[in-house]
Amino acid sequence: MTWHPEAVPDAHGNTVVVTGANAGVGYFASEQLAAAGAHVVLACRSQERAEAAVSAIRRRVPGASVEATPLDVSDHASVAGAAAALLERERLDVLLLNAGIVHAPADRAVDARGNELVLSTNVLGHFQLTALALPVLERTPGARIVTLGSLATLLARFPLDDLQLDGSYTSWKAYAQSKIAAQVFGFELDRRLRAAGADIASVVVHPGYSTSGRTPGIRGVNQPSKVKRFADNLQAAWTQGKDHGAWVPVRAALDPEVRGGDFLGPRWVTKGVPARALATPTTRDRAVGERVWALLEEYSGQRFPLGR
Ligand SMILES: NC(=O)c1ccc[n+]([C@@H]2O[C@H](COP(=O)([O-])OP(=O)(O)OC[C@H]3O[C@@H](n4cnc5c(N)ncnc54)[C@H](OP(=O)(O)O)[C@@H]3O)[C@@H](O)[C@H]2O)c1
């Protein structure tokens, strides 16, 4: 299975939605998918940052078909509004669940519903969005849902009775647990889609270790300081730019050989061209998947219309 990130399949006629698309991996995935010919919808919480990203793609990809739509994944009403807008579309070929808090706050914070903010942003909003957008994915032959996991899943425990980290919060635990829950969601979603006989694949990816100081500078999108560039370049041996990190979700979106339940990451673990990768047993575990699904329904207040 070979893949050339700079020669991807043609995507004309496909509609792709990318959450958190104004910066980082989400921006570069949007740019690369637009360059492949897809119509790309950048779902972002700041109109100003979304417009900067749309302008950057139009500048860098002549003829790009792109638009922005408002979405704050930590806000229940915003997610419901974005999903309602998606349902009005004729098709949705790829839903790329990328938005995330990567540098979690030092102190525990909560969203308006009282859910821990990193869990809310990195998992609950995407769970709600996917549940509500299911009908448009169902009417698009061969649709895909791509979830961003992380290498952090290798390095942390996953206590199912403490997903909200009430009394036990640290920023590292919040990030790592949210990414474990995101991967569990992606794999459980695929099992449920198979059980329902749906023509939708759920694929999980991780972008290795991708830093902004190793990423091309783009006005309004990626403007790291000289100090950040210097510090990030000291780690060049085992890191890559977010433009290269984006190769992984782009492959998950476009490679005809990718199947539901696949897990992809950079070939050299933290960097490199996308290849199949090994997900932790916990994130693939059926019993964990079933339990987490119930917790996600409870915390998000969103019933997901897919049984086992
Ligand atoms: N970079 C890595 O090495 C790495 C490794 C493993 C996994 N990942 C995963 O890859 C994804 C992207 O990471 P990144 O490095 O590209 O991060 P990033 O550069 O910090 O970009 C994160 C994006 O998510 C958006 N976002 C954050 N909170 C949001 C909210 N409530 N609603 C809507 N959008 C929101 C941000 O928008 P604003 O500009 O509005 O904040 C931004 O566009 C994340 O899911 C992350 O966990 C990254």
279 CB-side CA count, 13 A: 26
- If phi > 0 it is left, if psi is from -120 to 50 it is alpha, else beta; for residue 63 that is left
Give me 190's structure tokens. Answer: 């695929």
Question: DSSP states of 189-255 as a string?
Answer: HHHHHHHTT-SEEEEEE---SEEGGGS--BTTTB---HHHHHHHHTTGGG-EEHHHHTHHHHHHHH-
CB of 102 shorter than 6 A to ligand 1: yes
Angle, alpha carbons 141-130-192 (nearest 5°): 70
From 17, 19, 32, 45, mutation site for ligand 1 pocket: most ligand atoms within 8 A of C-beta: 45
Residue nearest to atom 42 of ligand 1 (CA): 20
Cβ atoms of residues 207 and 245 within 8 Å = yes
Q: Does ligand 1 lie within 6 Å of residue 101's CB atom?
A: yes
Determine if ligand 1 sits within 6 Å of the CB of residue 240: no
CA 62/CA 20 separation, integer angstroms: 22
Tell me the C-alpha distance between 5 and 272, whole Å. 10
The per-residue pLDDT for range 129-183, each reduced to its tens digit, is: 999 999 999 999 999 999 999 999 999 989 888 999 999 999 999 999 999 999 9
Can you name the CATH fold of 15-300? Rossmann fold (3.40.50)
* Mean pLDDT along residues 273-283: 97
Tokens of 173: 């635990």
pLDDT recorded at residue 305: 86
Q: Is the CB of 222 under 6 A from ligand 1?
A: no
Instruction: Categorize the per-residue pLDDT at 65 as very low, low, confident or very high, splitting at 50, 70 and 90.
Output: very high
CB atoms within 10 A of CB 305: 11
Between the CA of 195 and the centroid of ligand 1 the distance, in Å, is: 31
At 1 the pLDDT is 67
| pLDDT band at residue 306 under the 50/70/90 scheme | confident
Model confidence over 95-136: pLDDT tens digits? 999 999 999 999 999 999 999 999 999 999 999 999 999 999
Residue 69 contacts residue 41 (beta carbons within 8 Å) = yes
